[in-house]
Structure 1
């Protein structure tokens, strides 16, 4: 996850936040105010879930492996206890935590152990909350043109299904009462806003600099052809599970 530290400031300004309804959805599922909350891979707190989790008004611990992201996170959320390290390095307190959350970082964790580790970190009856965005496009013609442009540059990047975290948790069998909720909104972006967003995505950041430049140039020309605006169909998926 340390690929994001080099663009920490841009990540904080370009990534869309989450709908505030997520806070009520998590609290309603948990059934009472959580006594402790831990966030995995908190980043700068913006594109991740810290804003949503801080609104629960419970003691909050944020785990973030990149010191550059953690520095910005600490400035924005001084009330949170920020730990620099990975989820695998973290040791839960005795008895576990009431709520464990992860936003847009679940795929960075080891698929073979992430559900087992999450279950072991929670108190009996504790809540797992996983959420993230699926970046679609409101205009099918824009979607097709953007996908074709990206495939011409690099056809190896594959997008996960919107509900993949729900299916991951269900398949692991570590949690009960697993549910999924969806939130949808349209988000118009200018050319510069859209290119800034794309330049914070993990698949983009792991590509060679020349391929990054070619991608942004091609997408910029495409957005100009669209009239200078791209409207995202932003689907936010929330997966909830309970530790038995």
Structure 2
């Protein structure tokens, strides 16, 4: 198994913690992602435990969720029993041609093999349908968040430049005239303010669900989480009680031609 596959398949072992601790998505970001969609039928692709699906349900759209990991899918079905939730992947979507008006992926598109997933997503989208990837990013313009990133390392945080590079690569693959995925117009990117109420302990638990942390050897993971816990305990903004973790929800949106 290559490194990318090892990371992408790591979440099932922590599905319960993922469901409890991972953030939702800024509603303004989800609304913007759906703005050009020609209808209300939305596929949450790589849906995980249903974080994005829950926001879509709250916005009143018709949601079908597709997730490859059985443990993550079980958590989604437990949390959102009214949502149609199917096993499947971005590379093999178990839906008919033209059956949805939008495909959204929350913190998932960077795991897709877009050379295969792009045509498959285009297949299930109605003409004029929308493809949007959403990512929650820690807002490192805030001083203590930038310090947390330095203390934690990329395995726990997933640095902003890494996420940006995934977006740029995906945008290039979706751009018109660039090969087998050239079924979408030029992608647009926007970021929306977001936040998550945390304590020091719950933020440590949140960061422990990152793929880079899940694949670490136990001694290394304990050491990294220990550094994070020490930092949060010594920082005025996070040392006592609840605080808001400053985040951004970034959106990459393209429309099917």
TM-score range, shorter chain: 0.7 to 0.9
Report the Cα distance in structure 1 between the residues aligned to 2:136 and 2:143, rounded to whole angstroms: 18
Which ranges of structure 2 fall in alignment gaps of 5 or more residues? 1-7, 176-181
Q: CA offset at residue 169 of structure 1?
A: 2.5
Question: SS of 1:160's equivalent?
Answer: helix
Report the Cα distance in structure 1 between the residues aligned to 2:49 and 2:220, rounded to whole angstroms: 26
> Does the aligned pair in 2 maintain the 1:41–1:65 contact within 8 Å?
yes
Offset from partner CA, 1:85-120 (integer Å, 9 cap, x none) = 322232430334221111101111114333333223
Greater mean alpha carbon deviation, residues 65-74 or residues 231-240: 231-240
Question: SS of 1:37's equivalent?
Answer: strand
> Does the aligned pair in 2 maintain the 1:186–1:231 contact within 8 Å?
yes
Question: SS of 1:212's equivalent?
Answer: helix
- RMSD between aligned residues: 2.7
Give structure 1 regions of 4+ aligned residues with deviation exceeding 6 angstroms. none
Match of 2:58 in 1: 55
Structure 2 length-normalised TM: 0.80
More strand by share: 1
Match of 1:132 in 2: 135
> Does the aligned pair in 2 maintain the 1:181–1:239 contact within 8 Å?
yes
From the superposition, tell whether residues 163 and 182 of structure 1 become closer, same or farther in structure 2 (CA, over 3 Å): farther
Offset from partner CA, 1:154-191 (integer Å, 9 cap, x none) = 79x76514474265224432311532221013545321
Q: 1:17 aligns with which of 5, 16, 24?
A: 24
Structure 1 length-normalised TM: 0.84
Query: What is the 5 A alignment of 1:58-207?
Result: 58-137=61-140, 139-144=142-147, 146-151=148-153, 159-162=161-164, 164-165=166-167, 168-173=170-175, 174=182, 175-176=184-185, 178-187=187-196, 189-207=198-216
Q: 1:33 aligns with which of 36, 39, 46?
A: 39
> Does the aligned pair in 1 maintain the 2:9–2:69 contact within 8 Å?
yes
Report the Cα distance in structure 2 between the residues aligned to 1:60 and 1:142, rounded to whole angstroms: 34
Which ranges of structure 1 fall in alignment gaps of 5 or more residues? none
Report the Cα distance in structure 1 between the residues aligned to 2:103 and 2:155, rounded to whole angstroms: 35
